[in-house]
């Protein structure tokens, strides 16, 4: 899964400050260990590794029946159910659901592929040590998909900085873009790389 992603990255850029969310955090943590010369810093948003957390902390198991029922009711109902869990404030802006529906029409995700990704995420053990670059973990305090203590467990086990945002969204960049961007900017400034 990582190789196709890395093929899309411009080779002329020597190093990257990587910010990744959810399953992307799994890929990014692997990449930071695999090619530490390319990763200048690593920020994992709402990560969860099987090495540090049980499945009930890594995924809201109560959401599964709701998602399956929504899937049976059609594409719009399914997209709304996903947003209800990952970005609850979407209800304040109907254009968000419309955007996700349009995106899904243009780039449909087969249910079998989504299931494969969920299984891969559930099985992901994660590295036992942090990468050699400056690393931090950011969590949403009231995340409706992954319990924040799963990310806290990664930070504690790796002995890296942990920052919790007061949010119920798994998709923290969508929920708190300005606050998150400002925090990341300040954190990167302190690194002096």
pLDDT at 1: 61
Strand partners of residue 16: 39
Record the pTM.
Answer: 0.90
Burial zone of 109 (CB within 10 Å; 0-12 exposed, 13-18 middle, 19+ buried): exposed
Are residues 170 and 60 in contact, defined by beta-carbon separation less than 8 angstroms?
A: no
Interval 141-193: pLDDT, tens: 999 999 999 999 999 999 999 999 999 999 999 999 999 999 999 999 998 76
pLDDT: is 151 or 92 the higher one? Answer: 151
Q: Using CA atoms, how far apart are residues 19 and 34, in angstroms rounded to an integer?
A: 16
């Amino acid at each position: 899964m990582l190789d196709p992603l890395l093929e899309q990255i411009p080779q002329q850029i020597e190093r990257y400050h990587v910010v990744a969310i959810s399953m992307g955090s799994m890929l990014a943590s692997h990449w930071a260990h695999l090619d530490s010369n390319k990763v200048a810093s690593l920020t994992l948003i709402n990560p969860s590794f099987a090495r540090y957390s049980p499945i009930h902390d890594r995924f809201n198991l109560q959401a599964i029946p709701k998602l399956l029922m929504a899937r049976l009711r059609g594409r719009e109902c399914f997209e709304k159910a996903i947003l209800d869990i990952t970005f609850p404030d979407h209800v304040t802006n109907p254009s968000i659901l419309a955007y996700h529906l349009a995106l899904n029409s243009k780039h449909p995700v087969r249910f079998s592929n989504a299931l494969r990704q969920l299984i891969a995420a559930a099985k992901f053990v994660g590295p036992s040590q942090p990468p050699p670059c400056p690393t931090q973990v950011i969590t949403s305090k009231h995340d409706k998909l992954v319990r924040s203590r799963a990310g806290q467990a990664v930070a504690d086990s790796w002995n890296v900085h942990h920052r919790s945002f007061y949010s119920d969204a798994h998709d923290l960049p969508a929920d708190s873009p300005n606050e998150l961007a400002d925090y990341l900017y300040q954190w990167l400034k302190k690194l002096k790389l």
